[in-house]
Amino acid sequence: MGSNDKGKAVAMLIELFKRKLGEIMTIGLGDSLNDLPLLSAVDIPILVQKPEGQWEEMDLPMLQRVEGIGPVGWRWAIEELIGQT
């Protein structure tokens, strides 16, 4: 897709939401290196396990690694975040 990536798309969405709502807290979930730009663009980056049960190697400040593969990990992460509010 040329010079586009998930991080650029998320940054555009964040800006649109901020214009409408003011300051917001953003969360991103991913499981592979192609999610790194997305995870870099959000306030709370969360990495779930890959189908083999491992986490992708990433060095990103504030990155949270959660157990659970794919949707199971995403669900667990969101339930934990909702429970913290």
**Kind and range of the H or E element at 72?**
helix 71-83
Neighbours of 59 (CB within 10 A): 6
For residues 41 and 5, is the Cβ–Cβ distance under 8 A?
no
What are the boundaries of each domain within the chain?
6-83
Q: In 3-state terms, what secondary structure has residue 3?
A: coil
pLDDT of residue 1: 54
Tokens of 2: 């040329």
pLDDT of residue 3: 75
pLDDT grade for 59, boundaries at 50, 70 and 90: very high
Dihedral-angle region of residue 66 (phi above 0 means left; psi in -120 to 50 means alpha; beta otherwise): beta
pTM of the complete model? 0.87
pLDDT of residue 2: 66
What is 6-83's CATH topology? Rossmann fold (3.40.50)
| One-letter amino acid for residue 34 of the chain | N
Dihedral-angle region of residue 68 (phi above 0 means left; psi in -120 to 50 means alpha; beta otherwise): left
